[in-house]
């Protein structure tokens, strides 16, 4: 009787603590480093605090001592965009916004739709015609956003979004919104905290450059001088990696000013890195997200302890996987047939 009471209480406290950790808002974790006040309404879906995973096989293949993968796919909507969106939408709500607006190749779209729904605000999303994955569109539509397909590419959709936002009716939540960049810098904070020191380099995909600007800002604020390597699609306008199919990066000047090194990877390299990440480390990301890894596997990044950001989940853009991965063979529901079709089947265990 005397044991059960306190023990039970301890368990209850412990599970409350675990629950708190699991549902922690990024804004709460980094409140002192973000532009929020005690009265800012926190719009959260439990973003951030994503896994930092060691990749021993790929490290060996690339001749590295340590390769760390920041698995941003485990954010609530499946990409790193949620880090910035929690702050952008919280601040929009605080400042009395009536609606949010973005142009997107798909991930910003899903994130804006989710956080706007959470905040009770309407979201308008502009997508380049015919160039966004069906899964991302379904996610965005299901979350209640108004999706407008623009006759044009991403750059034209973004320009239109900026023009409309300038009228003051909608808050732009692309990474031109400074709160987006403030939120996204937390990925670097998490990596440095978890490794106990900065890695020899941070490596990430380069689309419009918003995330690179965010990482650079984090490094400046930490007073850390670590190389930042941004990897773009060699053929920006045609790459199969639709998330980074962006002709003219809107943050190009900021990326250059930050001293980030820009590296190009062609689609064959992207796909090879993407496939190896899946088969050798068990991580299925979307093709664009493997850009950083492509540069690392090519031996293009100096250092022996690297942090590579994997930006979005494979389920968000499964079309290329569906085309390239081996299709299932059709077998009878019979153990001999199944064993015969299983390359590495072994008995025992």
Provide the binding-site residues for ligand F0G, judged by CB under 6 A: 79, 104-108, 175, 205-212, 243-244, 246, 286, 288-289, 311-312
Min CB(32)–ligand F0G separation in Å: 25
Smallest gap from Cβ 186 to ligand F0G, in A, equals 14
Residue nearest to ligand F0G (CB): 207
Name which of 26 and 343 has its Cβ closer to ligand F0G: 26
| CA dihedral for 57, 62, 67, 70, sign (positive or negative) | negative
| Residues forming beta bridges with residue 309, ordered by sequence position | 70
Report the nearest approach of ligand F0G to the CB of residue 66 (Å). 23
CB of 229 to ligand F0G, least distance (A): 13
Q: How far is the CB of 5 from ligand F0G (least distance, A)?
A: 50
Gap between the Cα atoms of 166 and 334, Å rounded: 64
And the tokens for 197?
A: 């020191």
> In angstroms, how far is CA 35 from the centroid of its own chain?
22
Query: Residue 175 Cβ, how far from ligand F0G at the closest point, in Å?
Result: 5
Spell 125-155 as b/e; 16+ CB within 10 A means b: bbbbeebbbebbbebbeebebebeebebbbb
CB-nearer residue toward ligand F0G: 107 or 217: 107
3-state secondary structure the chain: CCCHHHHHHHHHHHHHHHHHHHCCCHHHHCHHHCCCCCCCCCCCCCCCCCCEEECHHHHHHHCCCEEEEEEHHHCCCCECHHHHHHHHHHHHHHCCCCCEEEECCCHHHHHHHHHHHHHCCCEEEEEECCCCCHHHHHHHHHCCCEEEEECCCHHHHHHHHHHHHCCCCCEECCCCCHHHHHHHCHHHHHHHHHHCCCCCEEEEECCCCHHHHHHHHHHHHHCCCCCEEEEEECCCCCCCCHHHCCCCCCCHHHHHHCCCEEEEECHHHHHHHHHHHHHHHCCCECHHHHHHHHHHHCCCCCCCEEEEEECEEHHHCCHHHHHHCCCCCCCCCCHHHHHHCCCCCCCCC
In the bound state with ligand F0G, the residue whose beta carbon lies nearer, of 79 and 177, is: 79
Q: Which is nearer to ligand F0G, 24 or 234 (CB)?
A: 234
> Minimal distance in Å, beta carbon 324 to ligand F0G?
18
Query: What is the closest distance, in whole angstroms, from the C-beta atom of residue 202 to ligand F0G in the complex?
Result: 13
Q: Which is nearer to ligand F0G, 48 or 207 (CB)?
A: 207
Nearer to ligand F0G, 55 or 73 (CB): 73
Between 86 and 108, CB nearer to ligand F0G: 108
Minimum distance from residue 217 beta carbon to ligand F0G (Å): 12
Which is closer to ligand F0G, CB of 30 or CB of 154? 154
Nearer to ligand F0G, 121 or 243 (CB): 243
């Amino acid at each position: 009787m005397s044991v059960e009471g306190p023990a039970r209480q301890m368990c209850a406290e412990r599970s409350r603590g675990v629950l708190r950790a699991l549902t922690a808002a990024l804004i709460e974790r980094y409140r002192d480093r973000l532009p929020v006040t005690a009265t800012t309404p926190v719009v959260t879906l439990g973003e951030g605090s994503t896994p930092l995973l060691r990749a021993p096989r790929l490290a060996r293949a690339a001749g590295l001592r340590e390769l760390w993968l920041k698995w941003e796919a485990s954010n609530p909507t499946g990409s790193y965009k949620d880090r910035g969106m929690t702050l952008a939408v919280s601040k929009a709500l605080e400042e009395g916004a009536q609606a949010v607006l973005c142009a997107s190749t798909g991930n910003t779209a899903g994130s804006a739709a989710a956080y706007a729904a959470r905040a009770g605000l309407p979201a308008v999303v502009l997508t380049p015609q015919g160039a966004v994955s069906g899964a991302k569109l379904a996610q965005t539509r299901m979350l209640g956003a108004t999706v407008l397909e623009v006759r044009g590419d991403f750059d034209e959709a973004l320009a239109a979004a900026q023009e409309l936002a300038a009228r003051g009716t909608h808050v732009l939540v692309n990474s031109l919104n400074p709160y987006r960049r403030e939120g996204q810098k937390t990925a670097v904070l998490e990596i440095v905290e978890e490794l106990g020191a900065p890695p020899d380099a941070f490596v990430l995909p380069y689309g419009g450059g918003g995330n690179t600007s965010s990482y650079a800002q984090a490094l400046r604020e930490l007073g850390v001088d670590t190389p930042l390597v941004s990897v773009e699609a060699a053929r920006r306008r045609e790459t199969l990696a639709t998330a980074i199919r962006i002709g003219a990066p809107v943050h190009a000047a900021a990326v250059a000013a930050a001293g980030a090194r820009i590296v190009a990877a062609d689609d064959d390299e992207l796909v090879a890195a993407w496939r190896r990440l899946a088969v050798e480390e068990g991580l299925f990301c979307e093709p664009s997200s493997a850009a950083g890894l492509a540069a690392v596997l090519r031996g293009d990044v100096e250092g022996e302890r690297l942090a590579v950001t994997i930006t979005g989940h494979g389920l968000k853009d499964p079309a290329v996987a569906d085309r390239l991965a081996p299709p299932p063979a059709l077998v009878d529901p019979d153990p001999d047939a199944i064993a015969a079709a299983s390359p590495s089947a072994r008995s025992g265990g």
